[in-house]
């Protein structure tokens, strides 16, 4: 058992009989009254985000977790299939546990968070940025680059993103997996 002074970003706890991960926290000591810890928790089963307040010094149950590197293989009606890079063991994960499934490319490495007690996968995190090739976009017209307007483009995984007008079909771009937005063009 831990208490509220042990709360930090990324900590996994058991709250209301479900596994939760701390996204944000803030220790608050008001002028009047007792101190408390304001947190934003993410349910690792459903992905739901909850604001919760713990009184200072209250006990919390931590969950022992392990982060492992897996390689994405393919997806089908069972789910998304991954392979452990060390022992070549394969697992499949449901789409809801992956932070940005639309940007998964075959052969891409991901970090999968496991509950160390029962070996159940909790979340699958892609890298912060992925590099993907544009498979279709309308050609940019010369002289249209003076404004900061964007056009839709489809990447090799089938996802749609908005890119600047100077991006053409066949270009490789860097995309943020946190918000799914274009970051920069990748130079060859």
Whether 58 and 82 share a structural domain? no
Choosing from 75, 99, 125, the residue where a domain stops is 125
Same domain, 105 and 139: no
* CATH classification at residue 9: 2.30.30.30
Claim to verify: residue 120 and residue 88 sit in the same structural domain: yes
Structure tokens at 176: 């943020």
Look at residue 165 in the predicted model and tell me its pLDDT.
86
Residues 16, 44, single domain; the answer is yes
Domain end: 28, 43, 62, which one?
62
Q: What's the CA gap between 166 and 175, in Å, rounded?
A: 16
Q: Give 18: exposed, middle or buried? Use CB within 10 Å, 0-12, 13-18, 19+.
A: middle
Q: Are residues 154 and 178 in the same domain?
A: yes
Q: Do 69 and 58 have their domain in common?
A: no
Mean pLDDT of all residues in 159-167: 90
Average pLDDT over residues 71-100: 90
pLDDT at site 118: 87
pLDDT in tens, 8-21: 998 999 998 888 99
Q: Does residue 119 share a domain with residue 145?
A: no
Burial tier of 29 (Cβ tally within 10 Å: 0-12, 13-18, 19+): exposed
Of the residues 62, 81, 113, which one is the last residue of a structural domain?
62
CATH of the domain at 72: 2.40.50.140
Same domain for 72 and 58?
no
How many structural domains comprise the chain? 3
Please check whether residues 71 and 109 belong to one and the same domain.
yes
Question: Which pTM value belongs to this model?
Answer: 0.79
Give the domain range for residue 144.
Answer: 129-185
Please choose, from the candidates 49, 40, 52, 43, the residue with its C-alpha nearest in 3D space to the C-alpha of residue 9: 40
Distance CA 43, CA 80 (A): 20
| pLDDT tier at 1, thresholds 50, 70, 90 | confident
Taking 60 as the threshold, does the pLDDT of residue 38 lie above it? yes
């Amino acid at each position: 058992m831990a208490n509220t002074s042990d709360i930090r970003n990324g900590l996994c706890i058991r709250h209301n009989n479900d596994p939760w991960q701390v996204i944000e926290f803030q220790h608050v000591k008001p002028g009047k009254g007792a101190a408390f810890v304001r947190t934003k928790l993410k349910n690792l089963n459903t992905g739901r985000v909850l604001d919760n307040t713990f009184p200072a010094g209250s006990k919390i149950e931590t969950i022992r977790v392990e982060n492992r590197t897996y390689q994405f293989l393919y997806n089908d009606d069972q789910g998304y299939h991954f392979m452990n890079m060390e022992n070549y063991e394969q697992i499949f994960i449901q789409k809801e546990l992956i932070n940005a499934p639309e940007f998964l490319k075959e052969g891409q490495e991901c970090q999968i968070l496991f509950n160390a007690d029962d070996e159940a996968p909790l979340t699958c995190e892609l890298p912060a940025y992925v590099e993907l090739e544009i498979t279709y976009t309308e050609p940019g017209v010369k002289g249209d680059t003076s404004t900061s307007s964007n056009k839709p483009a489809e990447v090799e995984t089938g996802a749609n993103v908005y890119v600047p007008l100077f991006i053409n079909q066949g270009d490789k771009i860097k995309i943020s997996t946190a918000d799914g937005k274009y970051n920069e063009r990748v130079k060859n």
